[in-house]
Chain A
């Protein structure tokens, strides 16, 4: 059974710092991995999607990497801003039971001005 873990559960950093959020998964048989952002009381906003054959994806200040063999992904946020404060979720689409995403519990990020 696929399990996704995100550590730490919460992170607080001063504005301007570069930071890394971690995601690990137990089964490397995945189609893809997706990073989302969730603001309090709001929906999920897709940030980046990495296919299983890819190593990384970039969008603006965000860079996501994928090491499928070790079951790890990282989300790198450069030059953090207070507006980046949110909960970040990673989700994998497993090959077994492919019609759903398996989510981690998320990392709650706070950027202090």
Chain B
């Protein structure tokens, strides 16, 4: 089954403790992206990747890092999480990259609470 898998689904942690949210897709998609969803603000893009070793900032990249060492994986790293990063996070993928008109597929989301 074609899917985007995020882990963990839920995480409660404390300020400053580094964490990684993993994202994996099994569709051989070149393009992957991270969004966060907040009440009243909707979904906003954090980072995206057009292919392996190619990443770029979205609209709200501050406080986040990403890497794309393999095509199927696109982890989101919070080096020093802060309470304002409490949010619902979504990973998405699309094939092929560039100016593709294919739909984006989303994972089930990761709910992060930073205390």
Which residues does A use to contact B, with CB under 8 Å? 31-32, 34, 36, 41-46, 49, 51, 89, 91, 98-101, 103-106
With contacts A43-B108, A44-B106 known, is A100 near B90, CB below 8 A? no
- A99–B90 contact, CB under 8 A? no
Q: Give per-residue flags for B67-90: 1 if the beta carbon is below 8 A from chain A beta carbons, else 0.
A: 000000000000000000000001
- B104–A101 contact, CB under 8 A? yes
Which residues does B use to contact A, with CB under 8 Å? 31, 33, 40, 42-43, 45, 48, 50, 56, 58-59, 90, 92, 99, 101-109, 111
- B111–A41 contact, CB under 8 A? yes
* Residues in chain B near residue A99, CB distance under 8 A: 31, 33, 48, 50, 56
Q: How far is B20's CA from A60's CA once the two chains are assembled, in angstroms?
A: 39
Among residues of B, the one whose C-beta sits closest to the C-beta of A46 is B103
**Shortest Cβ gap from A73 to chain B (Å):** 15
B interface secondary structure, majority: strand
- A49–B106 contact, CB under 8 A? no
With contacts A44-B90, A103-B42, A103-B43 known, is A98 near B107, CB below 8 A? no
- B42–A106 contact, CB under 8 A? yes
Q: How far is B44's CA from A104's CA once the two chains are assembled, in angstroms?
A: 10
* Residues in chain B near residue A49, CB distance under 8 A: 101-103
Sample of 20 A–B contacts (CB below 8 Å): A32-B103, A34-B103, A41-B109, A41-B111, A42-B108, A42-B109, A43-B107, A43-B109, A45-B106, A46-B104, A46-B105, A51-B101, A91-B43, A99-B31, A99-B33, A100-B45, A100-B48, A100-B58, A100-B59, A103-B42
Known: A32-B103, A36-B106, A98-B99. 16 other contacts (CB 8 A): A31-B99, A34-B103, A42-B108, A43-B106, A44-B106, A46-B103, A46-B104, A46-B105, A49-B102, A49-B103, A51-B101, A99-B31, A100-B33, A100-B58, A101-B45, A101-B92
- A105–B108 contact, CB under 8 A? no
* Residues in chain A near residue B59, CB distance under 8 A: 100
